[in-house]
């Protein structure tokens, strides 16, 4: 190679490197603007709210996300160490359907339990600021689920993410940053399809994701009764909560669960809540229409944002979030969920609630003493099936539907020291996968990859 060509090549490579750096900076942001966004202090109003609730600015946080209601809750520890709700934020946009993220391009936002470390905080986001959920977690990986860059971010635009406004994500980001500054090494995100109440469980009782959601509800209930961040592990391809494996054993996401125990105080309280919820579900079901499994709307948007997008007044919904003005967002960036008119124009069915089915009470079972491994389930234990397109919960949760099949006994004990519902859930680990697999067919939207690599 001649010397002029060598010089040109080196110059060309340098120019390409500079161009690439500039392009990356344009995508992610850099310099003072990034620092300014990521280091915005908590507002005086937020500092005052924290003080009113007997919290400290740098105390630990926990986040709960609810798809159907399009809400994000930030919880924070009080001076007594228990978590209390600090603030509820309306979610500007989420995509997909209710149900877990299964594969790249399905537009589904994650559901499950995710642990956020400082390394998952992104000040260079194309969407103002973002918090990476860390999807796929150990549970997701045990099912071979794929996807990346599933975020909570700004810009009110989503393809598999939970999109807030820039104003909202700045405050949420600051709360997380301060908790890390105060010594919290990681915080938990609990991403739920909806508030796991008896009413909502009754409405969605025929959804093929119900076995998976019952597993999520176990963790939801642990937090509800303890007001402490539940310790989350995965074994037998299901979540287990506040569990301590037997001496010399450990949890493996893809292997059968070992013997383990849960503290008596937690196991007893969760068991009581589950029995009460199941009884209420049984009472509600005959009068509760079943929610559609698939809406074809491509996700949801909190009513206050939808009203603003339509130029409508939303005083009532705003009052639920403090009555202030709706956080600003750029309508040009937002693709709202499909309306009934759009569904009809596209030749898609407009969701209508079908006739309700009967939800029989799940028969009770004797509780095992906490700290004692539970024996393997009997051969007539029922698990969910989806051959008919809807799950048959049978005796497991008392749902109507297709005939359930017996589960063969296993050599491993079910959830030691847990409430009966958990021991059944532990023995029926495959049931969660059954619902999730069916969901990938029933809920899979057309693959769309969002700009900037988010929502894969």
Residue 3 pLDDT level (bands cut at 50, 70, 90): very low
Asked if residue 188 lies in contact with residue 232, where contact means CB atoms within 8 angstroms, the answer is: yes
Buried b (16+ CB within 10 A) or exposed e, 216-230: bbbbbbbbebbbebb
In a domain, 166, yes or no: yes
Q: Report, as an integer, the average pLDDT of 196-212.
A: 98
Residue 100: which CATH number? 2.40.440.10
276 and 149 fall within a common domain: no
Collapsing DSSP to helix, strand or coil, 169 comes out as helix
What is the mean pLDDT of the segment spanning 107-113? Answer: 97
Question: Do 176 and 137 lie in a common domain?
Answer: yes
Residue of 117, 163, 138 lying closest to 334 (CA atoms): 163
Q: Distance (Å, rounded) from C-alpha 64 to C-alpha 56?
A: 19
In this structure, is residue 307 part of a structural domain? yes
Residue 452 lies in a domain: no
Q: What is the mean pLDDT of the chain?
A: 76
Average pLDDT estimate for 220-231 = 99
Identify the pLDDT of residue 323. Answer: 57
Closest CA to 237 of 429, 8, 12: 429
Residues assigned a catalytic role: 153, 161
DSSP string covering 302-323: -HHHHHHHTT---HHHHHTTTS
Do 237 and 290 have their domain in common?
yes
350 in any annotated domain: no
Is 107 found in the same domain as 46?
yes
User: Are 96 and 52 part of one and the same domain?
Assistant: yes
Q: Shortest CA distance to 370 belongs to which of 278, 275, 270, 274?
A: 270
Whether residue 234 is found in the same domain as residue 284: yes
Q: How far apart are CA 201 and CA 186, in angstroms?
A: 30
Both tokens of 432, joined, read: 């969660």
Looking at the fold, whether 248 and 372 belong to one and the same domain comes out as yes
Q: Tell me the chain's radius of gyration from C-alpha atoms.
A: 24
pLDDT higher than 80, residue 162: yes
* pLDDT for 311 beyond 90: no
**Taking the CB of residue 360, how many other CB atoms lie within 10 A of it?**
16
Coil, helix or strand at residue 223 = helix
Is the bond into 230 cis (omega within 30 degrees of 0)? no
Among residues 318, 335, 352, which one ends one of the domains? 335
Per DSSP, the three-state class of 13 is: helix
Residue 98 lies in a domain: yes
Cα separations (Å) of 249 from 235, 238, 246, 267? 12, 17, 6, 21
Shared domain for 122 and 151, answered yes or no, is yes
Number of domains present in the structure of the chain: 2
Q: Which residues pair with 300 in a beta bridge?
A: 94
Same domain as 212, residue 179: no
Predicted pLDDT at 15 = 43
Residue 275 pLDDT: 97
H or E element, residue 191? strand 187-192
> Would residue 405 count as lying in a domain?
yes
Candidates 392, 390, 196; CA nearest to 293 is 390
- Please check whether residue 7 lies inside any domain of the structure: no
pLDDT at 331: 75
Ranges 34-43, 95-104, 250-259, 447-456: which has the least confidence: 447-456
Of residues 38 and 435, the one with the higher pLDDT is 38
Query: Are both 90 and 75 inside the same structural domain?
Result: yes
**For residue 3, is it within any domain?**
no
Segments forming the whole domain that contains residue 224? 196-300+360-442
Q: Which is nearest to 438 in space by CA: 391, 378, 394?
A: 391
Q: What is the pLDDT of residues 427-454, one digit of tens each?
A: 333 333 333 333 332 223 222 223 333 4
Same-domain pairing of 80 and 219: no
**Residue 75 shares a structural domain with residue 187:** yes
């Amino acid at each position: 190679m001649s010397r002029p060509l060598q010089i040109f090549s080196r110059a060309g490579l340098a120019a390409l490197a500079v161009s690439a750096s500039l392009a990356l900076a344009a995508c992610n942001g850099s310099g003072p603007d990034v620092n300014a966004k990521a280091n915005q202090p908590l507002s005086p109003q937020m500092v005052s709210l924290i003080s009113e609730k007997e919290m400290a600015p740098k105390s630990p946080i926990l986040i709960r996300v609810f798809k159907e209601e399009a809400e994000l809750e930030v919880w924070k520890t009080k001076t007594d160490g228990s978590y209390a709700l600090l603030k509820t934020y309306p979610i500007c946009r989420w995509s997909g359907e209710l149900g877990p993220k299964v594969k790249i391009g399905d537009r589904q936002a994650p559901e499950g339990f995710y642990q956020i470390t400082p390394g998952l905080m992104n000040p260079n986001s194309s969407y103002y600021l973002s918090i990476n959920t860390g999807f796929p977690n150990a549970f997701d990986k045990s099912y071979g689920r794929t996807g990346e860059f599933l975020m909570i971010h700004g810009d009110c635009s989503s393809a598999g993410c939970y999109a807030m406004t820039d104003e909202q994500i700045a405050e949420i980001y600051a709360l997380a940053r301060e908790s890390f500054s105060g010594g919290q090494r990681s915080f938990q995100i609990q991403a739920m399809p909806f508030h796991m109440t008896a009413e909502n469980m009754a409405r969605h009782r025929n959804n093929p994701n119900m076995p998976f959601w019952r597993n999520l509800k176990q963790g939801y209930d642990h937090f509800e009764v303890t007001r402490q961040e539940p310790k989350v592990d995965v074994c037998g391809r299901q979540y287990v909560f506040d569990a301590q494996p037997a001496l010399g054993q450990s949890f493996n996401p893809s292997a059968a669960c070992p013997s383990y125990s849960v503290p008596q105080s937690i196991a007893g309280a969760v068991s009581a809540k589950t029995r009460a919820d199941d009884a209420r579900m049984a009472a509600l079901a005959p009068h509760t229409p079943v929610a559609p499994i698939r809406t074809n709307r491509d996700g949801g948007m909190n009513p206050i944002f939808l009203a603003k997008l339509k130029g409508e007044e939303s005083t009532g919904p705003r009052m639920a979030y403090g009555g202030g003005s709706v956080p600003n967002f750029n309508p040009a960036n937002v693709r709202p969920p499909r309306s009934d008119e759009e569904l009809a124009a596209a030749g898609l069915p407009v969701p209508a609630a079908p006739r309700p089915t009967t939800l029989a009470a799940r028969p009770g079972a004797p509780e095992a003493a906490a700290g004692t491994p539970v024996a393997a389930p009997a051969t007539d234990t029922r698990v969910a099936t989806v051959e008919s397109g809807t799950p048959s919960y049978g005796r497991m949760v008392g749902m109507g539907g297709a005939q359930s099949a017996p589960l063969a006994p296993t050599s491993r004990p079910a959830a030691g020291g847990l409430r009966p519902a958990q021991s059944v859930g532990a023995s029926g680990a495959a049931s969660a996968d059954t619902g999730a697999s069916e969901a990938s067919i029933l809920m899979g939207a057309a693959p769309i990859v969002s700009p900037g690599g988010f929502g894969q």
